[in-house]
A = this chain, B = another copy of it.
Amino acid sequence: MKVQQIADYEQNDVDLEGASRVKMRMLIGPADQADVFHMRHFEVAPGGHTPHHAHNYEHEILVLKGQGLAVSPTGDHRLKARDVIWVPPNEIHQFRNTGSEPLEIVCLIPAPRKAGP
């Protein structure tokens, strides 16, 4: 068992096209031999946003702190702490910080599929 505070993980800038003022921590991932799904922490600074994009895998998200907007083809949603967000595969989405404090979310994804033999 590994137990560790979010703040004690290394935090890195997200250098991805369409992302602005986003930092990430890998909480549970390849280093843990987690081979089914991975837990990441994202901090979006005020005015920042994640990419407005889609991909062939889902997101399972919990909002920890802050205020934001989730942009979705079926309508946008205001975000606050303890919101749970399900983004199905291939649905375009974006998360924007609309508040004055950091927006913090935990976002889980399937582990990238290993290449076949």
Contact = CB atoms under 8 A, between A and B. Distances in A.
Nearest to A104: B82
Interface string A1-15: 111111101000000
Interface stretch (A16-24, A42-50, A85-93): A85-93
A1 B37 contact: no
Interface residues of A, number: 38
A4 B84 contact: yes
Nearest to A27: B84
A47 to B, nearest CB: 21
Interface of A: 1-7, 9, 27-28, 32-34, 36-37, 39, 57-58, 60, 62, 64, 70, 72, 74, 77, 79, 82-88, 91, 93, 106, 108, 110
